[in-house]
Structure 1
């Protein structure tokens, strides 16, 4: 049950990890997904640790069983050796019994022969004794004594008779002793045989006990082997689960690395956007100060021109009055001439004043127009009738070229806002001045949504701007690591504005 729960947990973990995406719309989404991935990695590592601990416990049990198995095998081998030794002992006892039986049989024959000799000797002696008694007894002895030729002959006869008696007695006793010895030997051999048979019986009993002990040990060995096989299967299962969990941990670690790389990219883009905004603000401030200085200079020049014209007008009036007095004192004949001269002077002064006023107004208007164009506040568009597809085609020519923050070269290095500016300017879609990525949001014509966007439209993001390709992608100066690319979806970031210049 525990293994099934662990497997189910790992399967769920893999499904969750596969649901993560490498890129997200916002930094907060990426950080949230990274936190989830780190939590998942921690849980996976805890699972690996738990599985490893259980596998080590199983392996310890297997090692203990291995030691028990070795002991059982040693005992079984020792029992087999004892059984073989006992069988050798039984065989030896059987051989000894067979030998004793042969000796007993031989001794029985010897006893039979000795008894036969004894009986024959005894029969012969009885015949001699019977002959003596049957042939006179003491009288025979007297006849033998009286019939002796001499004392020597008599003594010889007496000695002969005594020797015969002693001979019979001696041989009879000897035969009796032989019979007794053979009889004793036979009895001893039979006792030895009985002992051997008893020993054989004991060995057979011992052998049966050893065989029973061997069977019991072999049964224990079989049971222990079955337990070891089960433990090894469990250990292999844990090993497979650990391998799966480790693969899961590696995948999550890779995912975390990708998410961290994306966060680093976002941080870099933020830094670049902030630097770009600061640079643009500085540029705008410098432009504003220059425009203010130019305006002040223009106003000062206009004031000086007005003063000059006013002085000229005053001087012209004074001269006209002097001429009039002289004319009156000279006579009526010169009055008309003076009057005509005065009118000419007045006309000249009026024309001069009108010309100066017109020129000042024109200069002022030109200066104002130049200022408006340099800040990009109006953004004239489509002066050459460029199409969206031609804008995208032109932008694609520079894919692969480097990104340089603040750069303005399509070939040697350029940033995102200058890239859009150069492409639109060079295709004739835009004739205004340069502006930042934020400035593009207020130029051109607004497009309500990405579904309404067309090729050549400008997509504005936070701190970034790109050209829409009409098929869901964008051409952009992506960053220092990537350069100019055409490989991302327009939805790679949150869209703040879409502007049209075609």
Structure 2
């Protein structure tokens, strides 16, 4: 089971490593993979701890078996020594038995010799007794004694007869005693031999028991050695698994370190991106504020220019009126009539011109609803003056009124007038300048213009320039692009 877990962890490490090196990951993905790797690292460390505990237990068993093995070897050596000592004792008993056997054989020979002497003495004594008995018995003794010449001879003969009798008796008793002694010695030797043979048999039994004990100990030793070999193999297997798991843990740790480094790099990139975005936002805000200030200054300048033009026009009107009054004084009532006639003629001329302009606008509007027609219509007013707050395409107009008049006269817008900021919410939105088409409205901070479809704009640029078609569409930040076609 542990091997399968270790293999699974290794496979996951390889998969995560390959994925990590091949694909660019987001911080969230890396955090998830890091969490997964940390989980696998914890599991691998748990496997290592479990294997280490088992290895410790196995090693403790091996150490205990080593102690048991030493005890068995000591017992086997002691048993072998006892067997050797017993064999030596058996050998000594065999020698003693051999010696006793020799002594018994010798005693048998001595006994046979003594019995032979005893029997001879007995036979001799029987022959003398038989001779005396056969030749008269007691008379022989009496004759032998009475036939003595004197008392001394008699006594000598009597003493001799007595001595003969005693001698035979003593010799017979002595030989009988020797026979008994030899018989007793033979019996003693045979008893000692029997004892030695019994001791030898006991020693041989003891030796057999020791040899059986030695065989049992050797079986125990072999069995214990087999168990130790199995435990050592298990210990080696645990060591190999621990080494593999430690290698896997090292690889996972390295992977986590790479993930940490990548997360740190991504965090640094995010920080820099946020700083850059903040900087760009600040720059755009500063640009917007600058544009607002410029627009305000432009409008103020336009107002001042309009005020000067109005003052000049008022001055012209005053001069014209004074000249008219002077002419009226010199010509009388006719002059006044002529003035009225002239004034009426001028009004008719302006009304005719205005009517002509509206007719021209109507014809363009009805025939040109596409973006190119809008641009072409706007281009015909290039060079006409700019007037802040003005609403005349010919006599003076500002940027918002210019767009309003062009779109309305081209028939693509039917709403009311709105400011440059208001144009940002009208029409349909366009995502970027690369998707803009001719006739789209480009909204800037404080300004609005018509896109020509080729990177430029038609606009009421300012009192200094009037209506122009000479500036790039991206001369400053575009805030919105709206489409009305």
Q: What TM-score, normalized to structure 1?
A: 0.56
- Give the match's secondary structure for 2:140: coil
- Give the match's secondary structure for 1:25: coil
Query: Could you list the per-position Cα deviations for residues 30-82 of structure 1 after superposition, in whole angstroms to 9, with x for gaps in the alignment?
Result: 12222222222222223333333333343344344434433433333333233
Supply the distance in 2 between the matched residues of 1:316 and 1:50 (Cα, whole angstroms): 107
**Any conservation in 2 of the 1:132–1:140 contact (CA below 8 Å)?**
no
Check 1:245–1:294 CA distance in 2 against 1; reply closer, same or farther (3 A cut).
same
Structure 1 residue aligned with 2:240: 240
- Give the match's secondary structure for 1:137: helix
Supply the distance in 2 between the matched residues of 1:298 and 1:83 (Cα, whole angstroms): 128
1:142 has 2:138 as partner: no
Supply the distance in 2 between the matched residues of 1:434 and 1:89 (Cα, whole angstroms): 124
Supply the distance in 1 between the matched residues of 2:187 and 2:86 (Cα, whole angstroms): 28
Supply the distance in 1 between the matched residues of 2:266 and 2:155 (Cα, whole angstroms): 158
- Give the match's secondary structure for 2:147: helix
Structure 2 residue aligned with 1:499: none
The aligned runs of 1:62-461 (5 Å cut-off) are: 62-129=62-129, 134=135, 136-144=140-148, 147-148=149-150, 151-152=151-152, 154-297=154-297
For 1:11, which of 1, 7, 10 is the aligned residue? 7
Query: Could you list the per-position Cα deviations for residues 360-397 of structure 1 after superposition, in whole angstroms to 9, with x for gaps in the alignment?
Result: 9xxx99xxxxxxxxxxx989xxxxxxxxxxxxxxxxxx
State the shift of 1:276 in Å: 2.0
Structure 1 residue aligned with 2:371: none
1:42 has 2:46 as partner: no
Query: Could you list the per-position Cα deviations for residues 191-235 of structure 1 after superposition, in whole angstroms to 9, with x for gaps in the alignment?
Result: 111222222223223333333333333333333333333333233
Supply the distance in 2 between the matched residues of 1:249 and 1:136 (Cα, whole angstroms): 134
Supply the distance in 1 between the matched residues of 2:52 and 2:28 (Cα, whole angstroms): 36
Query: Could you list the per-position Cα deviations for residues 267-287 of structure 1 after superposition, in whole angstroms to 9, with x for gaps in the alignment?
Result: 221222222222333333334
**Any conservation in 1 of the 2:145–2:157 contact (CA below 8 Å)?**
no
- Give the match's secondary structure for 1:174: helix
Q: Which runs of 5+ in 2 are unaligned?
A: 327-384, 389-397, 400-431, 435-473, 481-485
Please identify the structure whose Cα radius of gyration is greater. 2
Query: Could you list the per-position Cα deviations for residues 234-256 of structure 1 after superposition, in whole angstroms to 9, with x for gaps in the alignment?
Result: 33223222222222222122212
Q: Which runs of 5+ in 1 are unaligned?
A: 327-356, 366-376, 380-431, 443-502
Deviates more, 1:259-268 or 1:156-165: 156-165
**Any conservation in 2 of the 1:90–1:200 contact (CA below 8 Å)?**
yes
Supply the distance in 2 between the matched residues of 1:143 and 1:129 (Cα, whole angstroms): 20
Supply the distance in 1 between the matched residues of 2:476 and 2:75 (Cα, whole angstroms): 96
**Any conservation in 1 of the 2:146–2:154 contact (CA below 8 Å)?**
no
- Give the match's secondary structure for 2:271: helix
**Any conservation in 1 of the 2:38–2:256 contact (CA below 8 Å)?**
yes
Supply the distance in 1 between the matched residues of 2:261 and 2:254 (Cα, whole angstroms): 10
**Any conservation in 1 of the 2:144–2:157 contact (CA below 8 Å)?**
no
Supply the distance in 1 between the matched residues of 2:129 and 2:14 (Cα, whole angstroms): 132
**Any conservation in 1 of the 2:13–2:252 contact (CA below 8 Å)?**
yes
1:32 has 2:32 as partner: yes
Supply the distance in 2 between the matched residues of 1:284 and 1:266 (Cα, whole angstroms): 26
Provide the alpha-carbon RMSD of the alignment. Answer: 4.3
Q: What TM-score, normalized to structure 2?
A: 0.58
Deviates more, 1:265-274 or 1:110-119: 110-119
